[in-house]
Structures are given as C-alpha cells and as structure tokens.
C-alpha cells in the first residue's frame, strides 16, 4: 500500500486498488458508502493527489467511526469511456 509509480504514472495503492495520484491531472473522486452504494461526499475539479488525499482523510474518519471498512474512495469516470 502507498504511493507507487506504474509505467511512469503516479498512483496511490490502497486495499489492492490503484488510484490516480498525479499532481498535474484533474480527477473527480467520490467517497462511497459500500453498504448503501451511495455517495457521501464528492471531491471534484481538483488535482488527483489533492482529491484523493481529501477523500482518503474523510474515508478514514468515517471508517474509524464504524470500526469497519465500509467507506471507500473511487474516481468518477465519464460514461462515454465505458
């Protein structure tokens, strides 16, 4: 877990998943409640590293309160690319 570079691109690895972590590119992250599949908070229009850090901070606070891994951060992707 932690900061890693794959194929020259920066990622943050958490719980087996890669999250974009560029200090240049913009990302849209959501804090997701895995029990209800709802968005608790959004972190949009920020540099990837900033958006992920803010989401991860809140995720950890929420999960500590639940004493579980209920909440996770996910990057929102445009449906056009799916």
Task: Name the pTM for this structure.
Answer: 0.86
pLDDT in tens, 15-39: 888 999 999 999 999 999 999 999 9
Higher pLDDT, 29 or 78: 29
Long-range Cβ pairs for the range 47-55 (8 Å, 24+): 47/22, 47/23, 48/19, 48/20, 48/21, 48/22, 48/23, 49/10, 49/12, 49/21, 49/22, 49/23, 51/26, 51/27, 52/12, 52/19, 52/20, 52/21, 52/27, 54/29, 55/29, 55/30, 55/31
At 80, is the pLDDT very low, low, confident or very high (cuts 50, 70, 90)?
low
The pLDDT of 44-57, averaged and rounded, is: 96
């Amino acid at each position: 877990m932690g900061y890693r570079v794959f194929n020259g691109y920066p990622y943050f690895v958490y719980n087996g998943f890669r999250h974009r972590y560029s200090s240049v590119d913009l990302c849209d992250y959501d804090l997701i409640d895995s029990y209800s599949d709802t968005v608790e908070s959004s972190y949009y229009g920020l540099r990837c590293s900033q958006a992920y850090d803010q989401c991860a901070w809140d995720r950890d606070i929420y999960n500590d309160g639940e004493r579980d891994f209920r909440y996770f951060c996910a990057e929102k992707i445009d449906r056009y690319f799916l």
